[in-house]
Amino acid sequence: MNELFPYKPRKYQKEIIEIVENCLKNKENLVLEAPAGTGKTICVLTPCISFAKENDMGIVYLTRTNSQQKQAIVELKRLAEKIDIKAVGIQGKTNMCLLIENIPSLKDKKISNDELSKICSARKKRSMEALKGKREWNRCLFFENFMLTKDALNFDGIFSAEEILEYGRKNGICAYEMNKFFVKDAEVVIAPYIYIFDEFLREKFIVWYSYPFEKTILIIDEAHNLPEFCRELLSFSLSLNTIRHAINEADEYGVRDKDVLFLLKTMENIFELLQEEIDFSETDDALLADKKLEEELAKEGIDKNYLQEIADKMIIYGEVVADIKESKNLLPRSFIRSVGNFFIKWLDLNENWVKIVEKKEDNIKIEAYCLDASLTASILKSFYISIHMSGTLEPMEEYKKSIGIEAKTAKFPSPFPKENKKVFYVKGITTKYYMSDEMLDRIKEYIEKICNSTDKNTLVLFPSYIVMDRFLNKLNIKRKVYVERQKDRQDDIMKKLKEFKEKGGIFLSVMGGRLAEGIDFPSEELEMVIIVGIPYPPPSAKQYALINFYNKKYGDGWKYVMEAQAIRKMQQAIGRLIRKEDDRGIAIILDERAKRFKKYMEMERASDVLNEINKFFSNL
């Protein structure tokens, strides 16, 4: 192990490696929390690769987003200087498909995996016929080039999905097929969560991948995202807009089936009824009575068996519509099929789902929200072991119970000097419940005093966009101010961020937003974080249902649902400050309730905030 590790070990790295080694030897799952800058990725990969080589095993390294794959690729390339490794990063078709880039009618459309799979399957079938000498139109030349050149492709080393995509563009070869082709020989595969936790994609992955899961070490990066990812994966919805699009689609494509048209019109009427009847919360959602939809359908003579029959027909009609669209180089989307799929799933619901109604402007939707993340996460038990790592996994017992695993836990402090980071909370202020104008003014004064008294790059994080909006027109900050708004496009935020890092100023955003997680701010790019209030999830029908679910299952729903999310969001935000040895930063939590989280993070009460800030930076 000493020969394989590619760096001079820093504080805690040997201990992390030893814990991973023991878990591998004892076949124990591991939940590992260590702050940013600890080197979790390399400390986990090194013993896993050594163990996998000795025991003829594979490694699957999962990331929440495609951008997070880069760090794993970087570390694998360093390890490859010491040991031969075949590794490949994979991404979904929507990121890897070159065909879509070259069809003007599809290029700028938001395409789902299902729709792209339909296009891909049809084009590949025609291309295979063309390779046999038949004249075919609407083929995929990228796939054909792959078939003609695959035997000459050389997979020897470590390739990111981006490198494969660039090679495909340059040579006119399907990057997605190359991705799959390289997975067969890979010892390490870096993939998005969905390839393992989505049942449909997992079956495809199993065909490409050479190792059985029981001979595979699973590593999950940024694992604090996993419970909600698993819940969302089994959740599904149907909107009034989709119903109306389905009605128009039936008219356009000549679907005259009386049962199908009757169900669509009935659902349109039910949605309009719900808009009038339901008393929506501040977050524009509400719990739907368990049998409300079924009762409304029954009034029109649509029982469970009849609904099943109509849904089956909708899927068949939808497939025909999608085929027609695909043949015309149009997006193979069918709203009729979407409605049919919704009801097929709806008919199988049980107590692990809650039914929610949400409204947004003129649209309204019914959602079946999955409460039990362990339903999706049960696949974890198929692997040799799973290693879950993040800088924010506390409370760990809640995390383990949420995804339904037994695991050893390990927590490490920051390896960097303690004096480089300070966290303070302020007594006498809070965003609890609905802030009075008096409390809002007090918090506003604190933000202004702090921001105007220093020239440090500062991130001000609010618990929600709604709360941030209450402050925007009141704040009098004399420095350059940037704002991350809810509807901002990603590239617009990145432009603001680039200017903020280069020119400095104050950036207003939200807890759990795009700046509070996953963005690195080295050195002086960020030196202060102001957290306005405790980022409890807003009171909503979903949160109420989750609390109730965990109350029944474990007896403390508030802790599992509200406190766990708040703790992780605060830790993620504070973690932006210190990423390496010479980083320094101070976090100010403007809410006295923060003191209840002292067992999860080190913090002190600030008797004089400005004095503490001046003292911190002058000492450094």
pLDDT classification of 518: cutoffs 50, 70, 90 = low
Q: Is residue 464 over pLDDT 90?
A: no
Residue spans per domain, the chain: 236-370, 418-619
Q: In the Cβ-directed half-sphere of 333, how many Cα atoms lie within 13 Å?
A: 12
Asked if the model's pLDDT at residue 19 lies above 80, the reply is: yes
pLDDT of residue 2 exceeding 70, the answer is no
Residues in contact with 158: Cβ distance below 8 Å, sequence separation at least 6, in sequence order? 73, 76, 77, 80, 85, 86, 87, 88
Token code pair at residue 566 = 């708040």
Contact 66, 161 (CB under 8 A): yes
pLDDT at residue 494 greater than cutoff 90 = no
- Identity of the highest mean pLDDT range in 99-103, 272-276, 416-420: 272-276
> Could you tell me which of 539, 543, 597 has the C-alpha nearest to residue 568?
597
Question: Mean pLDDT over all residues of the chain?
Answer: 92
For 412-446, what is each residue's pLDDT tens digit? Answer: 988 888 888 999 999 999 887 667 889 999 999 99
Instruction: Among 3.40.50.300, 3.30.70.20, 3.40.50.2300, 3.80.30.20, name the CATH number for the domain at 418-619.
Output: 3.40.50.300
pLDDT confidence of residue 456 = 94
Q: Is the pLDDT of residue 597 over 80?
A: yes
Strand segments (E) across 511-574 = 528-532
Q: Is the pLDDT of residue 107 over 80?
A: no
How much is the average pLDDT of 134-138? 85
386-416 per-position pLDDT tens digit: 999 999 898 899 999 999 999 999 999 888 8
Instruction: Give the range among 33-37, 102-106, 313-317 with minimum mean pLDDT.
Output: 102-106
Instruction: Output the pLDDT for position 434.
Output: 65
Report the percent of the chain where pLDDT is more than 70.
99
pLDDT digits (tens, 9 = 90+) for 531-556: 999 998 878 899 999 999 999 988 88
Closest CA to 485 of 475, 496, 498: 496
For residue 453, the model assigns a pLDDT of 92
Specify whether the CB–CB gap between 160 and 89 falls below 8 A.
yes
Which listed CATH number (3.40.50.300, 1.10.3720.10, 1.10.275.40, 3.40.50.970) goes with 236-370? 1.10.275.40
* 414 vs 344: which has the higher pLDDT: 344
- Measured in degrees and rounded to the nearest 5, phi and psi for residue 3 equal -75, -30
87 forms beta bridges with 158, 188
Tell me the average pLDDT across 479-502. Answer: 89
Can you tell me the distance from the alpha carbon of 506 to that of 481, in angstroms, rounded to the nearest whole number? 5
User: Exposed, middle or buried: residue 28 (CB in 10 Å: 0-12, 13-18, 19+)?
Assistant: middle
Identity at 181, one-letter amino acid code: F
Instruction: Among 17-26, 430-439, 492-501, name the most confident range.
Output: 17-26
The pLDDT, as a whole number, for residue 1 is 61
* Residues 359-373: tens digit of each pLDDT: 988 899 999 999 999
Helix (H), strand (E) at residue 220: strand 216-220
pLDDT digits 0-9 by tens, 246-259: 999 999 999 999 99
Query: What pLDDT shows up at residue 406?
Result: 96
> Does residue 108 register a pLDDT over 70?
no
**DSSP 8-state secondary structure symbol assigned to residue 137:** S
